[in-house]
């Protein structure tokens, strides 16, 4: 492992508050402009005016702030309507909304810091990167992103359609087992496959021994390559597409599918022309998530020797010790991520599909027989085999073989570090999500919408980018405090925030807040507003209502959110590798370090422990989607 750079150097990068302030204002203006255009488009396309128009505006989350709707906007002068997003009631603050906005601003600092580095002057290291490895970073990142996207579409959509719409042997098992690869970090599968399929691995060794081949007598695919990285990530990340596509297929109207069949379309044409277009928003969302995860991966591409922006950030920070160039690389990587976010939103556009019937019937599942059933079984089994069973069994075998030497007091310490960090991050993320979601519930409106969206943006940003964005302002604060204390008291405070668990936990919250926020918002959304009204008539304030009414009701959602964040933190590698304190290791870092030293068998216990922890959210997701459709299947098949 390369020597870690001095964190104090990060603070020497120019940290301009005016740039960040300008970025915040720009984001607000662009967001307001886009939302206003969307609202005007919906209003213009409405067949009626007055109450229908107001209802449309409120349902779409318009600029009314929860009161008045479009009718209130009609009473304003022309100039006020033209700049409706500047109305005084656009931001209505109380303690909860103020806390939510303050939290969102703090959590957005790392992202804005990285974004502002685009405007920093280019240094010698940056010019060296541009002239040598820049093209490779762009090409490899693009090929990796597109390859993983194409692979996850093929595997995820195919398995989702087979499981949701057909009956064949093993369908009920595959329904939840297809999610199992989500429990395995991509870098764990990369280590396993490298150990199994390399030239000296058991697979090629067995082939040479059985066929008496020499080194040049046969060809075998190179695992440690860009193609190998795409294959590994496809088998790990396809459940994102499978999960969303299956939910969309299950939720589709039976009437539409039956009408397609009566018009002469076969099953395959109905899938291509009806079901797949209806599921396109869900499929694109899943593919975008998979692509974001591929761009943010460090362990797989680093171990396979594929130069991407993530590995470039890591090498520039650790190898060259230049935080400015690392931040500039991170800002370019953010452009890739923002492109994927815009692509996902543009794919949905203003398209919306609604059920016109309030009755749901069980989806008809044609029974596949013969070779059709065999193909369906193979199509669902192979992703599970290559994404979970094969690497899991190899990790288990290595763990058994190395248990005596690998599982010792140090291993227990690494496990306790991982569990402690994950538990603390889960508690913080759930608490912050609860404040944001409850503040948005109390004061719905554009300001709170922006706050929650900005706060949840971190999940789309790679961990290495967030690590850079956290270290730069924290080091700037440390240097500022140290300089002031030296000049006034002659005392050096050293590093107060940088390189500490505080900074690492802050990065975790920024990275995974969206996971807990989605779960908490879903839970609060099931609490009827009438309960709030009744509690207020009994003299309870917002805080006591939250503690006595909402938290007991949404406790299961809070626990689910905490578990999901816990497991994500257990698997997180880039942010932990860059920001962990000195002499502080987790299971993920330990597995990466051992695998980097080609001690693949010794890395298995740490990787297997992470996999076992990752099975928990898989079971939760499986339970949630099993009865996700009104009028769900009751045939028990």
Could you report the per-residue pLDDT of 50-88, keeping only the tens digit for each?
Answer: 433 333 333 333 333 333 333 333 344 444 444 444 444
Summary mean pLDDT of the chain:
76
Q: What global pTM score does this model have?
A: 0.73
pLDDT digits (tens, 9 = 90+) for 529-565: 787 788 788 888 877 888 888 788 888 778 878 887 8
**Structure confidence at residue 112 as a pLDDT band (50, 70, 90):** confident
| Closest by CA position to 426, among listed 559, 557, 552 | 559
**Between the ranges 81-85, 317-321, 423-427, 562-566, where is the mean pLDDT highest?**
423-427
Task: Give the H or E element holding residue 449.
Answer: helix 446-455
Q: In whole angstroms, give the CA distance from residue 237 to residue 156.
A: 9
Quote the pLDDT of residue 264: 60
Facing residues of 167 across strands? Answer: 367
Total count of residues recorded for the chain: 637
Q: Average pLDDT of 288-303?
A: 85
Confidence check: pLDDT of 368 > 50:
yes
Full set of structural domains in the chain with CATH: 122-406 (1.10.3720.10)
| Closest by CA position to 368, among listed 165, 154, 174 | 165
Check residue 368 and report its DSSP letter: P
- Residue 32 CA, chain-centre distance (Å), reads 25
Confidence check: pLDDT of 375 > 60:
yes
At 93 the three-state DSSP class reads coil
186 neighbors 232 (Cβ within 8 angstroms): yes
Confidence check: pLDDT of 148 > 90:
yes
At 367 the three-state DSSP class reads strand
Beta carbons within 8 Å of 528's beta carbon, 6+ residues apart: none
Confidence check: pLDDT of 17 > 50:
no
pLDDT digits (tens, 9 = 90+) for 432-490: 988 888 887 877 777 777 777 777 777 777 787 888 888 888 888 888 888 888 888 88
116 neighbors 20 (Cβ within 8 angstroms): yes
Check residue 88 and report its DSSP letter: G
- Residue 13 CA, chain-centre distance (Å), reads 29
Quote the pLDDT of residue 382: 95
Alpha helices in 61-219 (DSSP H): 69-74, 78-82, 95-116, 124-132, 134-165, 171-177, 186-197, 202-211
Percent of the chain past pLDDT 70, that is, above it, reads 74
Which has more confidence, 564 or 396? 396
Quote the pLDDT of residue 336: 78
Which has more confidence, 207 or 126? 207
166 neighbors 366 (Cβ within 8 angstroms): yes
**Structure confidence at residue 299 as a pLDDT band (50, 70, 90):** confident
| Closest by CA position to 440, among listed 50, 98, 140 | 98
End-to-end CA distance of the chain: 52
Q: In whole angstroms, give the CA distance from residue 594 to residue 320.
A: 23
Quote the pLDDT of residue 321: 72
At 167 the three-state DSSP class reads strand
Which stretch of 146-160, 318-332, 422-436 has the lowest confidence by average pLDDT? 318-332
Q: Average pLDDT of 153-167?
A: 89
Q: In whole angstroms, give the CA distance from residue 290 to residue 340.
A: 10
Q: In whole angstroms, give the CA distance from residue 8 to residue 146.
A: 38
Quote the pLDDT of residue 595: 86
Beta carbons within 8 Å of 202's beta carbon, 6+ residues apart: 196
């Amino acid at each position: 492992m390369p020597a870690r750079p001095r964190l104090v150097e990060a603070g020497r990068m120019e940290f301009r508050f005016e740039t960040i302030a300008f970025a915040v204002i720009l984001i607000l203006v662009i967001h307001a402009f886009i939302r206003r255009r969307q609202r005007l488009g919906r209003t213009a396309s409405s067949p009626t005016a007055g109450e229908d128009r107001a209802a449309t505006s409120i349902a779409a989350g318009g600029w009314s702030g929860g009161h008045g709707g479009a009718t209130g906007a009609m009473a304003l002068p022309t100039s006020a309507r033209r700049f409706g997003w500047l109305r005084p009631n656009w931001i209505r603050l109380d303690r909860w909304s103020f806390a939510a906005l303050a939290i969102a601003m703090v959590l957005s600092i790392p992202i804005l810091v990285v974004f502002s580095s685009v405007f920093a002057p280019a240094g010698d290291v940056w010019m060296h990167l541009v002239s040598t490895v820049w093209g490779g970073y762009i090409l490899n990142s693009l090929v990796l992103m597109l390859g993983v996207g194409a692979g996850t579409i093929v595997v995820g959509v195919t398995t989702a359609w087979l499981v949701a719409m057909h009956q064949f042997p093993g369908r009920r098992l595959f329904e939840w087992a297809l999610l199992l690869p989500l429990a395995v970090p991509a870098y764990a599968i990369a280590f396993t496959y490298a150990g199994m399929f390399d030239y000296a691995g058991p697979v090629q060794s067995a082939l040479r021994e059985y066929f008496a081949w020499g080194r040049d007598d046969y060809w075998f695919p190179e695992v440690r390559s860009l193609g190998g990285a795409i294959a590994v990530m496809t088998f790990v990340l396809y459940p994102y597409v499978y999960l969303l596509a299956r939910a969309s297929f299950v939720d589709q109207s039976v009437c539409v599918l039956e009408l397609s069949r009566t018009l002469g379309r076969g099953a395959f044409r109905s899938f291509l022309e009806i079901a797949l277009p209806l599921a396109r928003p869900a499929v694109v969302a899943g593919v975008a998530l998979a692509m974001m995860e591929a761009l943010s991966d460090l362990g797989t591409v680093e171990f396979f020797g594929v130069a991407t922006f993530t590995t470039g950030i890591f090498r520039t920070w650790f190898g060259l010790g230049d935080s400015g160039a690392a931040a500039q690389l991170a800002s370019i990587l953010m452009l890739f991520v923002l492109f994927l976010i815009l692509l996902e939103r543009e794919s949905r556009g203003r398209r919306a599909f609604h059920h016109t019937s309030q009755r749901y019937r069980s989806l008809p599942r044609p029974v596949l027989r013969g070779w059709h059933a065999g193909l369906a079984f193979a199509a669902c089994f192979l992703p599970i085999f290559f994404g979970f069973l094969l690497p899991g069994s190899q990790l288990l075998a290595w763990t058994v073989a190395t248990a005596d030497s690998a599982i010792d007091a140090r291993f227990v310490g690494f496990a306790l570090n991982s569990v402690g960090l994950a538990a603390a991050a889960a508690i913080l993320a759930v608490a912050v999500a609860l404040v944001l979601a409850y503040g948005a519930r109390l004061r719905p409106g554009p300001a709170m919408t922006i706050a929650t969206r900005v706060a949840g943006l971190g999940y789309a940003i790679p961990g290495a980018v967030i690590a850079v964005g956290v270290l730069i302002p924290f080091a700037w604060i440390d240097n500022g405090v140290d300089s002031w204390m030296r000049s006034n008291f002659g005392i050096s405070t050293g590093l107060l925030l940088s390189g500490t668990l505080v900074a690492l936990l802050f990065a975790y919250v920024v990275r995974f807040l969206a996971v807990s926020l989605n779960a908490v918002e879903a839970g609060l959304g099931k609490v009827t507003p009438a309960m709030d009204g009744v509690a207020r008539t009994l003299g309870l304030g917002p805080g006591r209502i939250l503690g006595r009414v909402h938290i007991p009701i949404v406790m299961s959602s809070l626990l689910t959110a905490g578990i999901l964040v816990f497991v994500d933190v257990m698997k997180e590698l880039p942010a932990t590798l860059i920001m962990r304190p000195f002499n502080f290791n987790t299971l993920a870092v330990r597995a990466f370090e051992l695998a980097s030293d080609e001690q693949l068998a010794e890395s298995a216990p740490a990787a297997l422990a992470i996999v076992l922890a990752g099975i928990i959210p898989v079971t939760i997701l499986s339970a949630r989607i099993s009865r996700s459709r009104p009028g769900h299947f009751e045939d028990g098949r």
